[in-house]
Amino acid sequence: MSNGAGDIAPDRWRMLGLLALAELLGMSLWFAASAVAPQYQQQWALTAGETAWLTTAVQLGFVLGTALSALLNLADLVPARRLFATSAAGAALANMLVLTADSLAETVPWRVLTGLCLAGVYPPAMKMIATWFRARRGLAVGAIVGALTVGKALPYLVKALPGATIANVTMAASGAALAAAGMVWVGYTDGPYAFPSRPFSWRLVGEVVGQRPWRLAMGGYLGHMWELYAAWTWLPVFVAASLAAQHDHHDAANAQASVVAFAALAVGGLGCLWGGAVADRRGRAWLVNLSMAISGACALLIGLTFGRSLWLLAPVALVWGFFVIADSAQFSVMVTESVPAHAVGTALTLQTSLGFLLTAAAIQLVPVLVARVGWSWAFPVLALGPAVGMASIRRLVSTRVGSTDH
């Protein structure tokens, strides 16, 4: 693999830092309501399935936003700086409006709108940083995904602070997103490897789907996504339920659970950096297969730690949090390498749209399984995703080897 000598733009590291920080701040909106789900559940007497809609609504809004963006080619037509900044500001406003809701039914539309706006924050950022890096693109995109991973964990850290309320967590996330919008609007410019734009075309989505390497990379990505957001959504609840089963003091258990949840999600930021560096050195397929194998094993095993010592549960949760996201950026890099340059933005947006649509089903499935078989056996179904993903990536590798031989 390349050692990065091809990346010569002097501002590339500064721009990576700016985009990574903006992504961290902007994506704190994602789990802003999920982090305080226990308060909502108590306040509105919600069932576990109803509580899941605080997250599922964001997923579906994101799917809608990315689908519209893909069909309208927005990521390839609208300047990235403008798309990111306006989307982050819109998401911040939608998140603040959650505080005006008096029921779950009133909250869900604002969460959907938040997710829709975030469709202009996540996929464009990957394209934006790819304009600054070519040889070290895996590491660069890994840093962006790592930053958004820490950002999504941020509300759990705010929630762990003494006296934290629904309003505190919500306003902190919205303020962070507004800061992200300002940073990108003022400080970002495209790099030397900018992707060429082309006039709007309804055929662009079909052109992307027609690429077999894209479809195989998507198979790996969809397997990864089946596991990822269900793990992120329910692991904090699993930890809280496990600790509550051992403690008489629920306030102490809740504080501990918030800290462990933050750590288990945030450690994925390091996982993304590690994954990007290893992928650039050893190859993307090798990295994603290793990560899916380990994360799938954690999905199978973590239920066995339920109700047991935190010293047993926490290490498995941290390993899962590290590897469940370590490969995510590499699927996006595979997409940028499997379609024509003029279709990269649309390909990334379509990829994320389909992936997040699948996450909504996985998120809603877990509480159904918990009700039927308990926490100890609810997570193994998520291991099906990595198994399917690994099979698809192996086919992608064999296809590329075959084309090289011929």
The three-state DSSP-derived secondary structure of 202-268 is CHHHHHHHCCHHHHHHHHHHHHHHHHHHHHHHHHHHHHHHHHHCCCCCHHHHHHHHHHHHHHHHHHH
Between these two residues, 168 and 257, which has the higher pLDDT value?
168
Q: What is the mean pLDDT of residues 246-260?
A: 74
Most confident of 296-300, 305-309, 398-402: 296-300
CATH code, 12-188+199-405: 1.20.1250.20
Query: What are the CA-CA distances from residue 331 to residues 174, 242, 288 (Å)?
Result: 29, 33, 8
Residues, the chain: 406
Between these two residues, 310 and 173, which has the higher pLDDT value?
173
Query: Is the Cβ–Cβ distance between 223 and 389 less than 8 Å?
Result: yes
Dist CA 354 CA 20 (whole Å): 24
The predicted structure's pLDDT at residue 401 = 56
Number of alpha carbons in the 13 Å side-chain half-sphere of residue 26: 35
pLDDT-based confidence at residue 404 (cuts at 50, 70, 90): very low
Note the pTM of the prediction, 2 decimals. Answer: 0.83
Residue 150: CB atoms within 10 Å: 22
The predicted structure's pLDDT at residue 165 = 93
The predicted structure's pLDDT at residue 4 = 43
Average pLDDT of the residues of the chain: 88
Query: What are the CA-CA distances from residue 54 to residues 29, 39, 331 (Å)?
Result: 12, 12, 27
Q: What is the mean pLDDT of residues 81-106?
A: 96
Is residue 258 predicted with pLDDT exceeding 60? yes
User: Per-residue pLDDT tens for 331-381?
Assistant: 877 877 778 877 776 777 778 778 888 999 999 999 999 999 999 999 999
Q: Identify the weakest region by mean pLDDT among 104-118, 133-147, 195-209, 218-232.
A: 195-209
Q: Identify the weakest region by mean pLDDT among 4-13, 81-90, 391-400.
A: 4-13
DSSP assignment of 331-397 equals: HHHHHHTTS-GGGHHHHHHHHHHHHHHHHHHHHHHHHHHHHHH-GGGTSGGGGHHHHHHHHHHHHHH
pLDDT-based confidence at residue 321 (cuts at 50, 70, 90): very high
Q: Identify the weakest region by mean pLDDT among 47-51, 77-81, 82-86, 301-305.
A: 77-81
Between these two residues, 87 and 212, which has the higher pLDDT value?
87
pLDDT-based confidence at residue 403 (cuts at 50, 70, 90): low
Give me the residue spans of the domains in the chain: 12-188+199-405
pLDDT-based confidence at residue 196 (cuts at 50, 70, 90): low
Instruction: Please give the share of the chain, as a percent, with pLDDT higher than 90.
Output: 59
